[in-house]
Amino acid sequence: MRFKRVEDILAWVVQFHADLEKHYRELEEGNARERAVMLLDYLADHQQALGEATEKFKGDASSQLLDTWFNQTPEVNGSEKLASLASRVSGASTSEVVLIAIECHDLLIQMYQGLQNESDVQSVKDLFQTLIAMEEHEKLRMVRDAGRLEDL
């Protein structure tokens, strides 16, 4: 990506979460395994909540912050990641679903870290640090909750 504003990046992240939620819901529909269905439903809800949280960050940010431009932004192919998810998740194992969900969190964390490192503006650095912390926290929570589901 070249020449993107913070607002554009956050809009992309919101769409990434929405697309991931949709994929989880589609995988949930065709799955006969009860635990896998419960996990996919949880992950879809989780992505919806993350999208809403990112939208809230966007809504609460100042217009000056949202209008900050990046000359170079990391290349993140969200549609490729989602296609990979769809092809790799058979629902045969809840652990495979969790591993791919972790990859998606890590993808965003790495993107946020790159953006944070590229910026010279402290408010932008702070925003991406907050988003990094949110994604890391949610990744840990997701792993914990998925483990609890596995114990059922």
Distance CA 9, CA 107 (A): 14
Per domain, the residue ranges of the chain are 2-151
Each residue's pLDDT, cut to its tens digit, for the chain (152 residues) gives 566 899 999 998 999 899 889 988 988 887 778 888 899 999 999 999 999 999 998 999 999 999 999 876 666 666 676 666 666 665 567 888 888 889 889 989 999 999 999 898 999 999 999 999 999 999 999 999 988 887 76
Pinpoint the alpha helices (H) of 30-93.
34-60, 63-66, 78-88
The architecture in CATH of the region 2-151 reads Up-down Bundle (1.20)
- C-alpha angle 139/39/132, rounded to 5°? 15
For the chain, give the longest Cα–Cα distance.
Answer: 50
What number of H helices and E strands is found in the chain? 6, 2
